Amino acid sequence: MKITRITAIPLSYKLPEGQTVKVGVGATIKRDTIVVRVETDEGLTGYGEAHPGRSPGAVTALVNHTLNPLLAGMDPCNVVGVWARVNRMQLSSHGLGAGAALALSGIDLALWDIRGKAANMPLYRLLGGSRKRLPAYAGGISLGFQPPETLVEEARGYLRDGYRAIKLRLGDNVRDDVARVQAVRAALGPDVDILTDANTAWTLADARRVIPALAEARVGWLEEPFSALDFGSYRLAAGLAPQVPIAAGENHYTRWDFARLLEDKAVTIWQPDLSKTGGITEALRIAAMASAFGIALHPHCSATGINHAATLHFLAALDNGGYFEACVSKFNPLRDMFGRTFTIGADGCVEPPEAPGIGLDIDEKVFAEFPAIDGPGYVVKF
């Protein structure tokens, strides 16, 4: 079997007027994704999802005009060989760096989809896992900056749905960040796992003022307080309140970025995104490295059911898997355009799909409903 063509298809959804969600990286104005289709000479087709990286047109062009001819003719089941070729020609030498990691991630997911279909096995079984129950938290673009009373109301809705863990957004300002966390903890009680995410918006001075309040509220983790490249601030913040674990990884790419996190010993919760870090092939390497040091993986999830389903399969095959980030965004039709990928149970858990490969029936007719809108999906000023 050989790869005959790789195609990236950018998709967008513009949020209704006045329905933005404000978080640390800005206010959402649209949702973007890139579906990657890999075709073979034996009729098997796989689908993956590449993160748009705030520039969907650039990532799409890289897949269609550079990686497509680079990988044509290779065995689609040779995921290690495909990864090595892209690494050699893009990641490690004169390539587009993080952009290449995003593009490769979508291709790699599609290749694993083909492998599962060829073996007539759901991906979690191909990876050596089982269809086990996976704890989930209410995440995605939700629970953003808003008055404490409406934030509490939104959080309670997710608990009624079955979630036992939620993620709050920080990075607004010190006073309001603290007030929101305190209000939600007081309203929901001690048994709900409250996770927090500053979306890289803090300074070290912000961290010094807010982290003690997070410790008092017994939050499960503090995610991405700083830029992914600001390793020094991560090291310093880790000592401010040891009972508040620092989480990161959504904006770290490939095993080499995670090796730096391991060496620094500051980030103890890892969150690779399968559509960003290099796909399942690379995420398995990252997971193995983490497992050797007792570090759990709580993957970040991207926009569509492709990433969500792949993440469920991935978690079901790990010995150090943690939470599944369930997208509960109110304005993300991209999530369900191939059908509902996961259902939260009364136990707060979800399960991976059972169909072969990633487990989704992709109908490309729906793509026409979401024409691409280039440019970033957030406005910084709000």
Q: Are residues 107 and 174 in the same domain?
A: no
- Sheet of 3-14: strand order equals 3-14, 30-40, 45-50
Query: For a pLDDT cut of 90, what percent of the chain falls above it?
Result: 93
Q: Are residues 178 and 220 in the same domain?
A: yes
Q: Are residues 258 and 230 in the same domain?
A: yes
Amino acid 327: pLDDT: 97
pTM for the structure as a whole:
0.97
Enclosing domain of residue 101: 3-121+365-379
214-242 pLDDT, tens digit per residue, is 999 999 999 999 999 999 999 999 999 99
Q: Are residues 335 and 236 in the same domain?
A: yes
CA dihedral 365, 300, 282, 229 (to 10 degrees): 120
Q: Are residues 349 and 369 in the same domain?
A: no
Q: Are residues 359 and 371 in the same domain?
A: no
Q: Are residues 116 and 143 in the same domain?
A: no
pLDDT greater than 70 at residue 76: yes
pLDDT greater than 50 at residue 382: no
Range of lowest pLDDT (59-63, 131-135, 329-333): 329-333
pLDDT greater than 50 at residue 354: yes
Q: Which of 220, 202, 36 is nearest to 135 (CA)?
A: 220
163-192 pLDDT, tens digit per residue, is 999 999 999 999 999 999 999 999 999 999
- Kindly report the CATH number assigned to the domain that includes residue 345: 3.20.20.120
User: What integer is the mean pLDDT of 293-299?
Assistant: 98
Number of domains in the chain: 2
- Kindly report the CATH number assigned to the domain that includes residue 37: 3.30.390.10
**To which H or E segment does residue 152 belong?**
helix 148-161
Q: Are residues 180 and 298 in the same domain?
A: yes
Q: Are residues 159 and 27 in the same domain?
A: no
253-292 pLDDT, tens digit per residue, is 999 999 999 999 999 999 999 999 999 999 999 999 999 9
- Sheet of 26-28: strand order equals 22-23, 26-28, 378-379
Distance CA 327, CA 79 (A): 28
Q: Are residues 110 and 138 in the same domain?
A: no
Q: Residue 381: which pLDDT band, with cuts at 50, 70 and 90?
A: low
